[in-house]
Every structure is written in structure tokens, then in C-alpha cells.
Amino acid sequence: MATAVKLSLATLLIGSLLLAYLAPPPSRQVDLRVRGGMLAIGLACYVIAAIALTAGSMLAGVLALAVASELICAAGWLGRGDSPGTDEDDSGGGGGGGGRGPKPPPLDWDWDSFEQAFRRYARDRDRQPI
């Protein structure tokens, strides 16, 4: 096989891997059946490539490897559409959820009224026997 063909296939594979793992995820979810079908066809192409290469058919084996690799990369990229979104406020505060929880209290919180309310609650609540 010519060196130019080898280099172009290597470039195609590296580009596909970089896009699959570093590109932004798709804007919408893709059905699991579609991605599973792509993975199944990709794995079947790997088997076909192995058979073709052991039989001595270099061109068919290389083409099957290229198709298999592209399908696996595409399925991986499409699977990233299921990833949970990031925080909407871009605060980078970590934590769970998608940033849709309650807002934190203001910084000028009235701690005296909070303590009075808490003491009233502690005094007036119904106590349950253990």
C-alpha cells in the first residue's frame, strides 16, 4: 500500500478520534438503537477486516478497518449527547444537579431573627418519644 494512502487513513482516524472525544457533544440525543446499530456494524466490520487480512486481501481489510473505526467514533460522539449539561450560570461551583436548585440566601442575612425563629421552633415543637 502506498505511503500517501497510509498517511491519509491515519489522519482520518486521528481526526475522527479527536472529534469524537474533544468536539462539543451533539445538541440533541440520538436513540440508543441507532448508536447500538452503529456499534454492531462497526464490530462486524472489525471481524470482516480480520478475515480479509488473514486471507491476504489488503485493500478489503483496510477499507473494513476504516469503516469500522469511523462507525465506532461516530457512535461514541453521538453517545455524548446524553451527557448532563453544565451549570447555566457558569459559576464552576461544582456540586450535583444542573444548576437549577434554589438560589442561596443573600449575604446580608438577618442572623438574629433566624436564631429567634429557631429558638421558638425548638421550644414549641412537638417532641416525639424515642
- What string of DSSP letters covers 43-68? HHHHHHHHHHHHHT-HHHHHHHHHHH
| Percent of the chain residues past pLDDT 70, beyond the cut | 81
| Three cell numbers, residue 9 | 487513513
pTM of this prediction exceeds 0.75: no
Per-domain boundaries in the chain: 3-82
- pLDDT, position 2: 81
pLDDT at 29: 84
The yes-or-no verdict on residue 61 having pLDDT over 80 is yes
Angstrom distances, CA of residue 129 to CA of 49, 119, 124, 126: 72, 20, 15, 10
Amino acid identity of 27?
A: S
